[in-house]
Chain A
Amino acid sequence: MIKRFFDWLRQPLGLIAVGIVFLTLFSFAAYGLYTTQQPPEQPVQFPHKTHVAFGIQCLYCHPGAATGPAAGIPSQAKCWGCHNQIVKTQTSLLLAPLKEAVISGKPLEWVPVAQVPDFVQFNHRAHIAAGQNCENCHGDMSKVTIAENPQVFNMGFCLDCHKKVAGDDHEKLVKLVDCGTCHY
């Protein structure tokens, strides 16, 4: 029975059918892969570019980056600290979810964008201390609203920079390409 099925597949009609199935699957897969790299929907369409234009430093809302492993997402209180003094908050549709969250006490559910897998232990502090700018990995925030990944965060991206930064310093290179520096 299987043989008859395979024989039909070798016919022109069968070959076209295989082609269509393959193309369909491939396009689903391609679309799926494409969507993983698109910035996800956020509860508030937060305009980074507006805030950067006001001169607010990255570390004001994400202070964890300079002191520890995780940069963190600011608490509602951080946003509300300024926004409860801004008249526009009362009427703005964009800010309605924030107002809703602060009043009801339910936190906003942000979707993290610059994700690395669970088996990677990433430490922000070391990168800031080494003189890396936030834009080097996270892109130019003066151009985007919600955060987007300017490139894929894969190990190749990390290692390329690690090797470049180490340069001729052998000890530094050993430390930066050591598996145990990030995977434990």
Chain B
Amino acid sequence: MIRPEEIKMSTEETGKWGMVIDQDICTGCQACVAACAMENNISFVGEVDSGYGRSMHWIRIERFWEGEYPEVKMTAQQPMMCQQCGHAPCEPVCPAFATVHSQAEQLNLQVYNRCVGTRYCGNNCPYQVRAFNWRAYKRPEPLSNQFNPDVTVRRMGVMEKCTFCIQRIHKAQDTAKSEGREVVDGEFTTACAQACPATAIVFGRVDHPESLVSQLGQRANGVKHLEELGTLPHVTYFKGG
């Protein structure tokens, strides 16, 4: 039995897994988006539904414009995925307890089998990173051969979002445990970070000061988006320049 006094308040947590994203070197090439889709069995929705905003991009690259021609600038590309908030607005609103905070991994979990599809969580997320399976999106044979066996294939009516590749986290921890050691920093990484040709995304343990992600996170001028909302996101962005 877990005693009440043992439950840590999320405002005290340092976080375990986090990312550092360098917007200055992100080129917007979409390699991370494709990698994530392939790794996590994400459905494609087609032209009509993506036009209605129902595409299921767990990570997306945002870009905005500033100014007008000829003094027009494209803002630095901004890869946006679930920030795995320490104090997530999506967690308290689920009536089925499908989106809970993992105390073991300090991540925001999405438990597909509990989800009943109220979409309250998606509504509450200030980063708008949650994707809902509005239809039973088909993957015609033989595309289903490509499915990653380590990730559940979601059905219609279920919410999904970036999980920081929790399947890779578990696999690396399992491998390390089987060899009687701890997971080494850089031993594994998320699909998006692994694909990025510019190495704009770095992933790792933010509670270990010697990890690459912690060291990079120490640099000046890092921002956490929408920090003022008190979400305690685990992704630090650098604009460069």
Measured in the bound complex, the distance between the Cα atoms of B100 and A67 in whole Å is 30
A119 to chain B, nearest CB (A): 4
Q: Are A184 and B109 in contact (CB under 8 A)?
A: yes
Number of A-B pairs whose CB atoms are under 8 Å?
Answer: 60
Given A118-B153, A121-B167, A174-B103, check contact A179 B174 (CB 8 Å).
no
How many residues from B make CB contacts under 8 Å with A? Answer: 23
Of A27-35, A44-52, A122-130, A143-151, the one contacting chain B is: A122-130
Most A Cβ at <10 Å: residue of B6, B100, B163, B174: B174
B207: Cβ under 8 A from any A Cβ = no
Residues of A within 8 A of B105 (CB): 178, 180
Chain B interface (Cβ within 8 Å of chain A)? 2, 6, 100, 102-105, 107, 109, 111-113, 150-153, 163, 166-167, 170, 174, 177-178
Residues of B within 8 A of A126 (CB): 174, 177
Q: Are A121 and B150 in contact (CB under 8 A)?
A: yes
Chain A interface (Cβ within 8 Å of chain B)? 67, 69, 117-121, 123, 125-126, 129, 170, 173-175, 178-181, 183-184
Measured in the bound complex, the distance between the Cα atoms of B150 and A63 in whole Å is 19
Q: Are A184 and B178 in contact (CB under 8 A)?
A: no
Measured in the bound complex, the distance between the Cα atoms of B178 and A69 in whole Å is 12
Residues of A within 8 A of B104 (CB): 174-175, 178, 180-181
Given A129-B178, A173-B2, A175-B104, check contact A181 B152 (CB 8 Å).
no
Residues of B within 8 A of A67 (CB): 178
* Seed contacts A178-B109, A183-B113; 17 additional CB < 8 Å A-B pairs: A119-B111, A119-B152, A123-B170, A125-B174, A174-B2, A174-B103, A174-B104, A178-B104, A179-B109, A180-B102, A180-B111, A180-B163, A180-B166, A184-B109, A184-B152, A184-B167, A184-B170
Please tell me which one of the listed residues B113, B150, B177 contacts residue A129 in the complex, with CB atoms under 8 A apart: B177
Q: Are A178 and B150 in contact (CB under 8 A)?
A: no
Q: Are B152 and A183 in contact (CB under 8 A)?
A: yes
Residues of B within 8 A of A129 (CB): 177-178
B226 to chain A, nearest CB (A): 24
The 10 nearest A-B residue pairs measured at CB? A178-B104, A180-B109, A119-B113, A180-B102, A175-B104, A119-B152, A183-B111, A184-B166, A179-B111, A174-B103
